[in-house]
Amino acid sequence: MSGQHVKYEKRNVHDKQLFVFYLSVFMQPNPTLESGDPDSSAVENPTDISRFDQLDLSPVMLAALRKLGYETPSPIQAQVIPAALDGNDIIGQARTGTGKTAAFFIPILELLDPLRQCPTPQALILVPTRELAEQVYQEVCRLAYGCKTACCVLAGGKHMRRQIRQLQEGTQVVVGTPGRVYDHIQRRTFKTSRLWCVVLDEADRMLDIGFRPAIEKILRACPKDRQTMLLSATLPPEIQRLTKRYLEDPVHINCSSTQVAVETIEQRYFSVKQPDKFPTLIKLLKREQPRQAIIFCRTKRGTDRLKMSLDRELRQIPQLAKLRLACIHGDMNQRDRDRVFADLRSGKLDVLVATDVVGRGIDVSTVSHIINYDIPLDCDDYVHRVGRTGRMGREGIAFTFVTADEGPQLTAIELNINLLLERDSFEEATKSAPAEEENTNVVDDEPPKKKRRLFPAKKKSNDRLARVGSRR
Ligand code: AMP
């Protein structure tokens, strides 16, 4: 499907209902405003934007959104779309499941030149994994309904020759992973001279994976006078350094994942000894009977081992024997990874054992349970793992197994999300009922500092102004 002129794909009504629920939950409070980077301007959610026709979009775009059943812009959309249409560089703090793909892609679609006028890529969307590239591509296809848009995916694990052919045939938008995209740039099969927009989606994860050198080389190979949008659930110092170097006077929009996780996802922990982890997991699965669960492990080998142990053990337990299991990690080939994700999405899988790298960014709204079999070493990974559930307003629950020497990690996570996790145990008979024992870790209760500024007047380069002007 990649590389063809994109066609409208029918969305199901179910997603729409979920989104309406999501909005009812998230449109109430304004997103937290970030003081973070002193060089960027924080923007408050313009809560008066409740319809897409308030966003100065073209009739074709509005028709496409209607066709998709998108009625109300999500908070990240209500803020990113106007700022991006004005040509600003953007730092957007949001996780997947909040409508962020449409937030950055609607403005791109509005400003794309027709293929016959410019057959070399105009917009580049960099994502951390092949799966996410495919997912973003699907959303791009849906949004491009009604306007012929040529888009291709440049991700590893797929045929190079096919990608080169797609680029030669003419492409307006490229969605890709940094390694493969840079490979094409080096071979000169991907010409960057006409790129006017670069999106770094899930930027924090791209850096975690080690894509920083490739990202920097790509950005240096792109025209200086481009628009850059960086989307990230978290803004660790390394990301802030990147934004200082490669973004120009960015508008900072914060609909951060922390807030979402705290609001909709119940989060608990089990205090366990290392040898008791597996029996605890079995008891938990028995008690919870999850609709769909992702169990996170730290290592690829640990993931394989746990999957094998579960395969053996679950067969012996009548109420769990029917659970369909799979595992996923970076050592698996692309075809197997694609199959596992397709099965998860279609509901053919009940339990997925995964490492962080591949578990990230995947938009599967039916995941009801997250189990951190190994507590993540990095606080940001916690936010991303937990964000795999509670998507688009659905309820979710996350459990974290903590051994005695992992107490400081739990405290660090709690400080990071500004929430005390409830302690759970099997002494409590009721399903999902919290144990009475209190977690004594300390949290910083102070609310984040607010910086209230609404889309400040900005100095824009001539080229960007011309692009914006030609649209109006
Ligand atoms: P994302 O955060 O981009 O992964 O989007 C999550 C899901 O929400 C996708 O299935 C989108 O198609 C859907 N979505 C995005 N924006 C809207 C909207 N305004 N109304 C309804 N659904 C939406």
138 lines ligand 1 (CB under 6 A): no
Task: Pick the atom of ligand 1 nearest to 74's CA.
Answer: 19
Q: Is the CB of 121 under 6 A from ligand 1?
A: no
Query: 96: Cβ below 6 Å to ligand 1?
Result: yes
Whether 196 contacts 463, CB under 8 Å: yes
Domains of the chain: 31-254 (3.40.50.300), 265-431 (3.40.50.300)
**Edge-to-edge, what's the strand order for the sheet holding 151-154?**
41-43, 251-254, 90-93, 227-232, 197-200, 123-126, 173-176, 151-154
pTM above 0.75, yes or no: no
3-state class (DSSP) for residue 266: strand
Distance between Cα 100 and ligand 1 center (Å):
7
Question: Is the minimum distance from the CB of 363 to ligand 1 under 6 angstroms?
Answer: yes
CA 58 to ligand 1 centroid distance, Å:
19
Q: Which of 11, 19, 143 to mutate to test the pocket of ligand 1 (most atoms within 8 A of CB)?
A: 19
DSSP character for 4? S
Over the Cα atoms of the chain, what is R_g? 22
Ligand 1 pocket test, pick from 101, 364, 388 with the greatest ligand atom count within 8 Å of Cβ, gives 101
Q: What is the whole-number distance in angstroms between the Cα of residue 313 and the centre of ligand 1?
A: 38
Helix (H) or strand (E) holding 326: strand 325-328
Atom of ligand 1 nearest to the CA of 142: 12
Predicted confidence pLDDT, tens digits, the chain (472 residues): 333 333 223 223 333 333 433 443 333 333 322 333 333 333 344 447 889 999 989 999 999 999 999 988 988 999 999 999 999 999 999 876 788 999 999 999 999 999 999 999 999 999 998 888 998 999 999 999 878 889 999 998 888 999 999 999 999 999 999 999 999 999 999 999 999 999 999 998 898 888 999 999 999 999 999 999 999 988 888 999 999 999 999 999 988 644 445 556 888 999 999 999 999 999 999 999 998 999 999 999 999 999 999 999 999 999 899 999 999 988 888 788 888 888 988 889 999 999 886 656 566 667 889 999 999 988 778 887 887 776 555 568 899 999 999 998 998 888 877 778 889 998 754 444 333 333 333 333 333 333 222 223 334 445 554 555 544 3
Ligand 1 and 101: CB distance under 6 A: yes
How far apart are the CA of 19 and the centre of ligand 1, in A?
A: 7
Residue 420 token pair = 């005390």
177 Cα–ligand 1 center, Å:
21
- Mutation probe of ligand 1 site: the residue of 70, 93, 129, 143 with most atoms within 8 A of C-beta: 70
For residue 251, CA distances in Å to 21, 289, 306 come to 28, 44, 44
Euclidean distance between CA atoms 257 and 50, whole angstroms: 21
